[in-house]
């Protein structure tokens, strides 16, 4: 790096050493920053360890490598290191305004989705430039996925490594974010799909208390049971057998010697999720929410109108309806009536796995903190010929304002401005004062109001109440 470039580039000093980032369009970006030691060798299937410090300035111009997963990361620039995978992947990225105000700025920390088995912070839709332009310090990070993040076995003992990575990233933020102009006392964590579900899980563990102060949960599937450690270790022993090792008798050394390609290619790599390990998690997250044993922080939570895009239109209804009996499914279909924007399997999947749980969480959490419930229904103009409703994940480029401008008409631009602005306002104040939109009232069981982001933006009573009430009663255990 030339001395001229180094002098012009933004610098930051953090606990582990100096960083050199890049500046573009009034925003400084620092990428690929290690927040934990590489979880390789003896550190595979161990909790994240502190990163090693460095003595000379470290370049932070590009993303770190993505965590191993079955397929290549999507939506990553071909020139980026994020397009490749490695177990040495525990890095994070920071965007901050080049001209920083004297007062520390709110911080937002993004947890990507992908079923805890795929994904990367390097997706182009997750670029934090728009947030930084609006006075937010934006952080994104990678965490261990699939079998590397959620496998457990009697020989390795620990569990929830992917969640522990997320907690380590939040601890890094608390320790270092002042170096980027951020306020460690005003951190909003937000995530989509599995990232949203993980946030709900972190809200129920005492070890995460104080590391974030507000939360935004987008399209979190949330009605599944969580196995106990002994049950998960039994499944891990069975996985070891399938991978050619002596089941429960396999040693930690044998397990850690398995090639990463063998782990990511295994069908077990897709079966991921938290475990009641009696350390990070001491009870079912659903139970903790139900009994008000959470952090009680301001919360935005919501879903999209076509979460059913995750399943084929002709999927068997019995396979997507959870534990509903045939009689219950028939009654549910009668209650719902005919809708043209999705098949029976798709809307039942949406309501059973997304809409009902989101409303249930909102009802529980609203007893102790302000909660704002939403449904995102908007379809971008250039997608309208192919879609009639908002698919799973389709809110993300509106939230990050990362749509290519040339593709947007005036209505698309307005939705981007509004939804992005809601999230910014919430991070700054705890209230989603959405620009150019009606007031978004907080949720209560009595009012049962959500904000609908569609062709029109309006606060309205929750639709299909009878369906959601029926599902809650039928599926709640």
**For residues 48 and 90, is the Cβ–Cβ distance under 8 A?**
yes
Determine the Cα–Cα distance for residues 109 and 86; give it in Å rounded to an integer: 23
Q: How many helices (H) and strands (E) does the chain have?
A: 16, 14
Beta bridge partners of 215: 189, 299
In Å, what is the CA distance from 402 to each residue of 23, 74, 103, 125, 128? 18, 15, 27, 5, 9
Residue tagged 């305004």 (tokens): 97
SS3 317: helix
Residues 6+ apart with CB under 8 A from 475: 223, 322, 323, 324, 352, 356
Residue tagged 């990511």 (tokens): 264
Task: Give catalytic residues, as residue numbers.
Answer: 193, 307, 392
Tokens of 152: 């457990």
Element containing residue 130 per DSSP (H, E): helix 129-133
**For residues 219 and 198, is the Cβ–Cβ distance under 8 A?**
no
46 burial level (CB within 10 Å; 0-12, 13-18, 19+) = middle
337 burial level (CB within 10 Å; 0-12, 13-18, 19+) = exposed
Three-point CA angle 81, 161, 178, nearest 5°? 65
Q: 185 phi and psi, to 5 degrees?
A: -95, 5
DSSP assignment of 190-236 equals: EEETHHHHHHHHHTT-GGGTTS-SEEEEES--------BHHHHHHHH
Determine the Cα–Cα distance for residues 80 and 445; give it in Å rounded to an integer: 47
């Amino acid at each position: 790096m030339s001395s001229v470039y180094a002098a012009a580039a933004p610098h930051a000093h953090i606990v582990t050493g100096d960083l050199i980032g890049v500046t573009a369009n009034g925003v400084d970006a620092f990428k690929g920053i290690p927040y934990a030691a590489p979880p390789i060798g003896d550190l595979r299937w161990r909790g994240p360890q502190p990163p090693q410090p460095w003595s000379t300035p470290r370049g932070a111009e590009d993303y770190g490598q993505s965590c191993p997963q079955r397929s290549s990361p999507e939506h990553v620039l071909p020139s980026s290191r994020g397009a490749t995978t490695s177990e040495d992947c525990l890095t994070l990225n920071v965007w901050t305004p080049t001209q920083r105000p004297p007062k520390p700025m709110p911080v937002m920390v993004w947890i990507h989705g992908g079923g805890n088995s795929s994904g990367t912070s390097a997706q182009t839709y997750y670029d934090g430039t728009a947030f930084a332009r609006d006075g937010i310090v934006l952080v994104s990070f990678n965490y261990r996925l699939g079998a590397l993040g959620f496998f457990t076995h009697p020989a390795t003992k620990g569990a929830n490594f992917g969640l522990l990575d997320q907690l380590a990233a939040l601890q890094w933020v608390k320790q270092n974010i002042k170096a980027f102009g951020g306020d460690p006392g005003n951190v909003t964590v937000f995530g989509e799909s599995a990232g949203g579900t993980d946030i709900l899980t972190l809200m129920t563990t005492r070890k995460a208390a104080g590391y974030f102060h507000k939360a935004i949960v987008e399209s979190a599937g949330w009605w599944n049971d969580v196995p106990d450690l002994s049950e998960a270790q039994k499944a891990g022993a069975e996985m070891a057998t399938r991978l050619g090792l002596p089941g429960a008798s396999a040693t930690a050394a044998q397990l850690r010697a398995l090639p990463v390609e063998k782990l990511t290619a295994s069908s077990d790599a897709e079966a991921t999720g938290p475990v009641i390990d009696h350390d990070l998690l001491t009870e079912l997250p659903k139970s903790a929410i139900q009994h008000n044993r959470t952090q009680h922080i301001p919360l935005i939570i919501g879903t999209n109108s076509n979460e059913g895009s995750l399943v084929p239109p002709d999927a068997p209804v019995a396979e997507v309806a959870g534990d509903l009996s045939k009689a219950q499914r028939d009654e549910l279909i009668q209650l719902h009536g005919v809708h043209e924007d999705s098949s029976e399997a798709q809307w039942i999947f949406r309501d059973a796995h997304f809409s009902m749980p989101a409303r249930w969480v909102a009802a529980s959490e609203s007893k102790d903190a302000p909660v704002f419930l939403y449904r995102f229904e908007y379809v971008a103009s250039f997608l309208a010929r192919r879609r009639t409703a908002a698919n799973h994940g389709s809110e993300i480029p509106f939230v990050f304002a990362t749509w290519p401008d040339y593709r947007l008409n005036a209505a698309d631009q307005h939705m981007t401005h509004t939804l992005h602005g809601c999230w910014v306002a919430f991070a700054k104040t705890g209230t989603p004062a959405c620009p150019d939109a009606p007031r978004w009232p907080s949720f209560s069981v009595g009012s049962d109001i959500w904000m609908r982001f569609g062709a029109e933006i309006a606060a309205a009573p929750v639709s299909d109440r009878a369906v959601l009430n029926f599902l809650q009663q039928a599926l709640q255990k």
